[in-house]
Chain A
Amino acid sequence: MKENGEIRIGFYICHCGVNIASVIDVERIAAYAATLPGVVVSRHYKYMCSDPGQELLGSDIREHKLNRIVVAACSPLLHEHTFRKATENAGLNPYFMHMVNIREHGSWVHEDKELATGKAQDMIRAAIRRVRFHEPLEKKRVPVLQDVLVIGGGIAGIHASLTLANAGKHVILVEREPTIGGHMAQFDKTFPTLDCAACILTPKMTSVKDHPNITLWSYSEVVKIDGSVGNYTVTVKRKPRYVNEELCVGCMECIEACIYKEGKWPDEFNVGLSKRKPIYIPFPQAVPPVPVIDPEHCVHVKTGKCRDTCVAICGDRNAIDFTQKETLTDIKVGAIVVATGFDIFDATQIPYYGYGKYRNVYTALEAERLINASGPTGGELLLPDGHKPESIAIVHCVGSRDVHYNRWCSRVCCMYSLKLAHLIKERTGAEIYNFYIDMRAPGKSMEEFYNRVSEEGVHLIRGRVADITPQALPEGSDQGGYLGKLVVQAEDTLIGRVRKIPVDMVILAVGLVPQKDAEEVRRMLNISCSTGGFFLERHPKLAPVNTFTDGIFLAGACQGPKDIPDSVAQAGAAAAEALALIDAGSVEIEPNTAYIIEEDCSGCKSCIPLCPYTAISFDEAKKKAVINEALCKGCGTCVAACPSGSIRQHLFEDEEIFSEIDGLLTYA
């Protein structure tokens, strides 16, 4: 490759305020760069990304007839676009600009100024050598498919679907459970305004069902994703519910008619606090309002020998369909919104809280069901022995803020604990003791709600619960099923005394954790995870709903614990990002794609199976490999693998990489 005539390089180093300049000696670097071959202009500037900074670059290009630019600043992730644009505006091909990251890779991670400056010097020398070989490149555009996939039908998925559908886009909403609604459908009232969760959620669920632009696939799972931004092929597994959704009118007579007269298996929606039949509907307002048959327990599915009372009662409608099979369906979409939600912390992991050992220790989610009118007790909070509790302890931070379990604050527990305190006190008159470490009530109207609950006379004790034990020692070995009073022991840190408070019931404010299969989903989507296992956003502040994979957006608690208002806000943002992408109609693809030097290709086909994006095919007539630039993501796998060296890559040409390495290894 040639150097394309006389090389005139402009070098710019950014102070980034004090972010870079406080560690790296920018003046010295600018002076050093000026001595390197080909460098015509070398400057340092306080904020290169500012308008004057960009203008400086542009005027230098025009004035000094620069044909190569090197900017040493922050991560290209943040400002590569800015400087390419500035280069282009000055009449130079934007790919003649190269960025060196001396902030994230330099000043932010080093303390020794001398060494950090030395490292930056090496890095810019490498870039100045590399940029000589840059060539003018053109971005390409590929069309974007107009349908959007939303994964998960909780409040975030519902809101994102409705927003997109209202904008006229066709949405395929895939939900794993037999109904949409997610965790929110299980809650009683919602903090801080105390509106009933079902009252505000079910209208949105119905809108999903009725929306002409939404295809709802419940009881289905995404199992495979291929392609890239604008052009994803998604495989969805649709589990048989053995009830035809088109034919069923939701009369529920089949459930009534089932040969099992009573529920026999733990009801998932009521977190196991009640029993359901093999044919059931999760809750009355479920969407779709279609029963589902549990193949594990249905006598017909298991043995084929059943009186089929459900089929009989359904009669001519013929909605019960035992011939349904699991199917795999491929769909094509331009963008994906991930709204897979959260799981709750498994409280049995903390042995000293007695969950699973004492029957009157509940999780907050169980408490939500117990006080809910559609719950197992019809909304009456009762102990397992049928008595009304007169005293209740609510334990905050269960599984959260603890290095042994989860380090993070789960963010919603303080507020939902106060809400439960309020609701339970209102309905039972019981004495309520909230044990908290720090009361966290940020957000609109939250502190006011905290104040309100305090004034209602809920006992707020500042201390983390250290032990929960039976008040009277249970006789015999088996404490499972112990139902007497439990003593909750904690230091009241504000009075500096250990308090042992006997209560009838304990509610554990369990934290939020990633879904059990979050890791598999993450891999399937090719997105990243934060340390705790929640999905990672592209930037914590500036790209909170984007991921590192273009065209895939995050909504709701799959990205981290959050409450309903925040989940909805984020879902709206994710929908807007998806809209911005697909409404543009096409997407620019970076020109850093691989290309084949045809005369050198031996036609060995070794590159074809290696391509993760199925971008390489084989031209049988020419007996050569062919790369589809629209599909190539520039990962470089084929370039490295080609035995004849006939595959090369724009922006990563051998000359560019080797001269960069030379630059790094040539000590000044």
Chain B
Amino acid sequence: MLATEEAVEQMWGVTLDKLYDSEEGRRILSCIQCGTCVGTCPHGEYMDYPPRRIITMLKAGLIDEVLASDSMVMCVNCYACQTKCPRNIRLTEILLPIVKEQSLLQLETMPAELQKAIENTFRYGNYMGESARKRTQWTKTSKIPVRILSEDPRPVDALWLVESDLSYHPRGQDVARATVQIFDAIGADFAILGNEERSAGDCGRLSWEPGLSETLIDYTLSILKKYTYNRIIVSDPHALDALNFRYPMFGFSDTVEATVSFVHRHLDMLRPRLTKTLKYRVTYHDSCCLGRHNKLYDEPRELLLAIPGIELREMVHTRENSICCGGGGGGMWLDTYYKAKGMERLSDRRLREALATGADVLAIACPYELSRFEDAVKVAGAENRIVVRDIMELLVESFGDN
């Protein structure tokens, strides 16, 4: 559900003691303790205090016991509980982040990988700890030249926020270059921020660290202010989420579009280029932020179906009932922590569903999933059965004149 203006207003700055001050917050009181949130949570069975119990404990004045547990460290911000809640309680948007932040503070030892990711994001503006100067290196090997606003600040139609994974991760860079080819094919007037860009302060990860999130949002807004553009295009669904749901609280009101919906809107211009038949059986993984939170289910599928020869197969969990890859909400840096708890990696579980469809390509539209699912493929020893491809990569592969 896209946040309305009032909802954004009401969510702003909510703390535990002010939870019931807003209409959105008071909805927590309407909980009927049905347990749907727990039953649908991909990690619900491992939590001592899953969402339903958090609400009862809160009502009983026993929330301190919840904050002292590590239950919310297991929350991957996947919006599954919130989406199915029959009372439409904003669990993922309001309640869980508050509990998360507080319980992390009380954790005896901060999980090392998460600690590092947060530190890196603070220091370098990306969780990998890469140098800001290397952010545009991928453009050097792009077939199409990419305009960088800090070098050429003329007004532009589409300002493309590349985000960190597509800028630094080797496979992410493949997707970035493919995306440039697609933008070129649809005749988009686009440019990137270049080395000035830092992580947009993605919603899930930074619900651990609202202070850091705010710093990054302030920074990004100050950079954006320098340029003139009509819209912002985002490839990372987490950043899309941040721009759609967090930034408005800071007075931001620009037009924001996910890459998939931007390209989908120009599909007719792209279609003539999609001439090479790809005889793939493809299954598409709905990312949590793109799907459940921003309701983009049909656009990615229609892009895939525009490619000649593609056969689309659906997994058991699909669309709003999709399962998280496990990377959201900081899960990306908690694999070791989860493993120590005896929890299965969600990407491994999801890959089994993908393999069961008989697909030879697992299509994705979120950069976290590239690394997570490619890892899962290796773990499963399924390299000969399935490959992981971003939708942009598949579209480019279908260019007959490539």
Which chain A residues have a beta carbon within 8 Å of chain B's beta carbons? 351-352, 397, 401-404, 437-438, 462-467, 469-470, 473-477, 479, 489-493, 496-498
Contacts and interface: CB of A to CB of B under 8 A. Distances in A.
Contacts of A397: 34, 86
B358 A491 contact: no
A284 B317 CA distance: 43
B101 interface: no
B314 interface: yes
A351 B320 contact: yes
B40 A467 contact: yes
A464 B356 contact: no
26 contacts: A352-B320, A352-B321, A397-B86, A402-B86, A404-B86, A437-B32, A462-B35, A463-B35, A463-B38, A464-B34, A465-B36, A466-B84, A467-B317, A474-B356, A475-B356, A476-B313, A477-B281, A477-B359, A489-B39, A491-B36, A491-B37, A491-B39, A491-B44, A491-B50, A493-B33, A493-B35
B271 interface: no
A493 B52 contact: yes
Interface string B290-302: 0000000000000
Nearest to A405: B86
A477 B314 contact: yes
Contacts of A437: 32-34
Contacts of A498: 38-39, 44-45
B142 interface: no
Contacts of B189: none
A-B pairs with lowest CB-CB distance, top 7: A466-B39, A477-B313, A491-B35, A473-B356, A464-B34, A402-B86, A491-B38
Contact of A476 (B37, B50, B317, B357): B357
Contacts of A463: 34-36, 38-39
A467 B356 contact: no
Contacts of A470: 316
Contact of B317 (A402, A469, A492, A497): A469
Contacts of B352: 473
A266 B312 CA distance: 30
Given A437-B32, A477-B357, A496 B39 contact: no
Interface size grouping (class) on chain B: 35 or more
Contacts of B34: 397, 437, 463-464, 493
Contacts of B39: 463-467, 489-491, 498
A404 B44 contact: no
A438 B321 contact: no
Nearest to A499: B39
Contacts, number: 96
A47 to B, nearest CB: 36
Given A437-B32, A464-B35, A493-B52, A473 B321 contact: no
A403 B86 contact: yes
B316 A404 contact: no
B202 to A, nearest CB: 27
B353 interface: yes
Nearest to A461: B35
A438 B33 CA distance: 9
Contacts of A401: 32, 86
Nearest to B56: A493
A578 B156 CA distance: 73
Contacts of A497: 45
B316 A469 contact: yes
Interface in B40-65: 40, 44-45, 50, 52-53
Contacts of B358: 475-477
A491 B321 CA distance: 17
B88 interface: yes
Nearest to A489: B39
B383 interface: no
Nearest to A493: B35
B84 to A, nearest CB: 6
B50 A438 contact: no
Contact of B311 (A402, A464, A477, A491): A477
Nearest to A464: B34
Nearest to A492: B35
A397 B39 CA distance: 15
Contacts of B38: 463, 466, 491, 493, 498
B321 A351 contact: yes
B87 interface: yes
